[in-house]
Structure 1
Amino acid sequence: MSSGWRARAYAVRMIDFSKASVFKLSPCDPKDIGGSVAPLLVNGEDMLYAFKSVRDFVVFTNKRLIAVNVQGMTGKKRDFTSLPFAKVQAFSVETAGTFDLDAELELWFSGLGKVRLEFRGKADIRALGHLIASHCL
């Protein structure tokens, strides 16, 4: 594993937290956070879904997952972690239930490990599962 991948793996853990999630992601309009992520997009890449916690957010494009960790008191410093769907080896989707209103998505990335995201009940977790399946199957 190269030192660059080790650095990225650490950054992902800051967002996903291998233990129980500290915050839950809620759906938001990709246009609301598009200005932060748009400079990272390549030709033919479109933002499809966006989810936000208090400060951090996650964007699903048609090619990858971009996790943004907002840092510092002012929130101007940001860590952008790009996780391409081409590196997904396996994934798990857990839908919300009657008493447990949260949904979960776990992704296993080649050379990186597991990324776990927890969503509030209104998130369309099945659509995310379909998006990922269409890129890694």
Structure 2
Amino acid sequence: MAVQDILSWTLFEQVTVSDNISQYLVDGEEAYSAFKTFRDTAVFTNKRIIIRDMQGITGKKIETYSIPYNIILMWSTENAGKLLDLNGEITLWTRAGHFKIKIGRNLDIMPFEKLLSNALL
């Protein structure tokens, strides 16, 4: 059986962590950084990655994904190339499946590498 992506997101730019993310956080959890996707926001905390997926025309329906660091078995990072690659890429292998987070060309992939290393090692 081939490994397939369960979900994939592209992070375009770093944004300020929204105050309303606090309703998702548990005791002792801190939001480190937030990133804008097409219509969504991804927040990296000290315990997990939270991705809010706005759905529908109005965006009033929101699906929230939580990827706890403790289910990540391994990861890989790939930086954007010079000519043809537009995005860097983080691939997460978890007990739940395979996730891809694409990193926009204007973002440095190394802070993601460091964050994952600190959370998982």
Q: Does TM, scored on the shorter chain, surpass 0.5?
A: yes
d(CA) in 1 for partners of 2:13, 2:33:
8
| Count of equivalent residues | 116
Contact 1:30 1:48 in 2 (8 A): no
Q: Which has the higher strand share?
A: 2
The percent identity for this pair of structures is: 34
Q: Which residue of 2 aligns with 1:3?
A: none
3-state SS, counterpart of residue 59 of structure 1: strand
Runs of 4+ in 1 over 4 A off after TM superposition: none
Instruction: Return 5+ residue gaps in structure 2 as ranges.
Output: none
| 2:58 counterpart residue number | 74
- The 3 A distance-change label for structure 1 pair 132 and 47 is same
Q: Which runs of 5+ in 1 are unaligned?
A: 1-11
Aligned-residue offset at 1:94: 0.6
Tell me the amino acid that sits aligned with residue 14 of structure 2.
C
Give the TM-score normalised by the residue count of structure 2.
0.85
2:107 aligns with one of 107, 114, 123: 123
CA contact (8 A) 2:13 2:37 kept: no
- Aligned to 1:133, what secondary structure does the other structure show? helix
Out of 87, 94, 109, the position equivalent to 2:94 is: 109
